Amino acid sequence: MKSLDDVLQGIDGALDESVARLFELLRFPSVGTDPAFHGACRDAAAWLKRLLTEMGFTARMDETTGQPVVVAEYAPKGLPSHAPHILFYGHYDVQPPDPLDLWESPPFEPQLRKGADGEERIFARGACDDKGQLMTFLEASRAWLRARGSLPFRLTVLIEGDEEGDASHLDRYVARNRDKLKPDVVLICDTGMWNAKTPAITTRLRGCIAEEVAISGPSKDLHSGYYGGPARNPIRVLTKILGELHDRNGRVRLKGFYDGVDPVPLSTRRQWKSLNFPAKKYLGDVGLAIPAGEKAYAVYEQLWSRPTAEINGIYAGYTGTGSKTVVPAEAMAKLTFRLVGRQTPAQIRKGLRQFVKERLPADCKARFKSHGGDAMAVTVTESSPWVRLAEGALKQEWGRDPVLMADGASIPVVGTFKSLLKVDSLLVGFGLEDDSVHSPNEKYNLKSFHKGIRSWARLIGGLAHQQESMTS
């Protein structure tokens, strides 16, 4: 296998330039879900288009029903027929930065700060999720092109602006363009490491749906002195229903909820157990001590292989300063369900509606609303040649075997690629648990950024070696 020293030395020598480019991208307040920032989203997309064009890609901005997507293509001349088509996916939109008063520095003015441990960290909204991560791959591609003049495969880069909001916008785009996009594999850098020294490949993701339930009772808000007692209070109705959502052992009580929840293979369970998941520290770091999921399962199993029903917010009546003696006309709750195995959004929605209606008093009504972004659970075969290739590249860079792990979160587009393009996604990321993703003071370790670039360069090198072996 040809030495990668020229590529890796180029990455090391140009790290300051790479960080400067990342800082440019981080300065765009590209909050995709807030109309006030739609201009910034378009500016971020235009910046990425220029960046990729300067790198030698044929790049464009395509309109969608939401934010624009950036599509860039690189097709080297003289590629052998067996050379793969790689699709790299990332997203330029970010979560809202609120609450702003908890940030130690402005969220869209990136800073590089060294901590007491000597570690340098990049602070900004999007530093980890997903701008810093996607730039690791783009900077690795840049370094490879600079050192070798051409990539060893056909590459399409797809970067969207709706990942943090409504995934249906990209679903429709991919459905319309499936024949053009069709790759051999999708590369995604939007996940994390096992710990600061150990890389990981994510082979399981839970799915997710978001639901809203509103219970209405009286025709208007009522004076609690005149009506309190005989008048039905929607808050009491709603909270009683929500309180019955789980049984005493943490199991969800919706009819048919566990249909399609397949047992985890014994070999995978053994591998997970060998990781010695730090359950006490995991809960202790957020001020908790007692696992609250299904009692028959370890904490890591609750996260990685079990479905959940969570109440994300409740709104009803008067919530302002002081007191207001009112029996509200309506109470509303927002819920999310994490899916595993073969569970489907349709079966969960049906179970939720039935569960609520069965417990609804005759003089109350229920209203339901589904929010966009359904995501099916995804499992990647651990023996996949793409996984094996990534294992070798990561071990070369980090000096230890990567962990094959699951992730309790959802990346809707992974299911989209699986269902519409019929391909697996290789999920390799360099985020850490303390990166405060979606929270104030989001950060990305400089080491994660630097070694992330080097890791992708090694994976590109593995693909080049693979082709050399097939050609010779």
Residues 383 and 354 reside in one and the same domain: no
CATH of the domain at 153: 3.40.630.10
Domain's final residue, options 333, 360, 375 = 375
Residues 187 and 103 reside in one and the same domain: yes
* Residue 10 banded pLDDT, cuts 50, 70, 90: very high
Number of Cβ within 10 Å of residue 263's Cβ equals: 9
User: Is 461 inside any structural domain?
Assistant: yes
User: Is 296 inside any structural domain?
Assistant: no
Residues 356 and 440 reside in one and the same domain: no
* Residue 15 banded pLDDT, cuts 50, 70, 90: very high
Residues 123 and 237 reside in one and the same domain: no
Give the pLDDT confidence score for residue 82 in this predicted structure: 86
Residues 319 and 421 reside in one and the same domain: no
Integer CA distances (angstroms), 55 to 20, 74, 97, 463, in order: 16, 10, 31, 20
Residues 454 and 364 reside in one and the same domain: no
User: Is 290 inside any structural domain?
Assistant: no
Domain's final residue, options 375, 408, 423 = 375
| pLDDT tens by residue, 152-200 | 999 999 999 999 988 889 999 999 999 999 999 999 999 999 999 999 9
Residues 33 and 147 reside in one and the same domain: yes
What is the domain count for the chain? 2
| pLDDT tens by residue, 336-395 | 999 999 999 999 999 999 999 999 999 999 999 998 778 889 999 888 999 999 999 999
Region 54-60: what's the mean pLDDT? 98
Residues 229 and 341 reside in one and the same domain: yes
User: Is 176 inside any structural domain?
Assistant: yes
Separation CA 441–CA 437 (nearest Å): 8
Domain's final residue, options 345, 375, 405 = 375
What is the residue-averaged pLDDT of the chain? 95
Give the pLDDT confidence score for residue 470 in this predicted structure: 65
User: Is 244 inside any structural domain?
Assistant: yes
First-residue to last-residue Cα distance in the chain: 12
User: Is 137 inside any structural domain?
Assistant: yes
Residues 200 and 309 reside in one and the same domain: no
> Does the pLDDT at position 1 exceed 80?
no
Residues 243 and 130 reside in one and the same domain: no
Give the pLDDT confidence score for residue 471 in this predicted structure: 60
| pLDDT tens by residue, 18-30 | 999 999 999 999 9
CB 220 within 8 A of CB 329: yes
For residue 246, what are the domain limits?
A: 207-277+303-375
Model confidence pTM above 0.85 = yes
Region 248-260: what's the mean pLDDT? 97
* Residue 81 banded pLDDT, cuts 50, 70, 90: confident
Q: Cβ contacts of residue 3 below 8 Å, gap of 6+?
A: none
CATH of the domain at 243: 3.30.70.360
Residues 354 and 267 reside in one and the same domain: yes
User: Is 15 inside any structural domain?
Assistant: yes
Cis peptide bond upstream of 99, omega within 30 = yes
Residues 361 and 425 reside in one and the same domain: no
User: Is 297 inside any structural domain?
Assistant: no
Residue listed under structure tokens 């008048």: 231
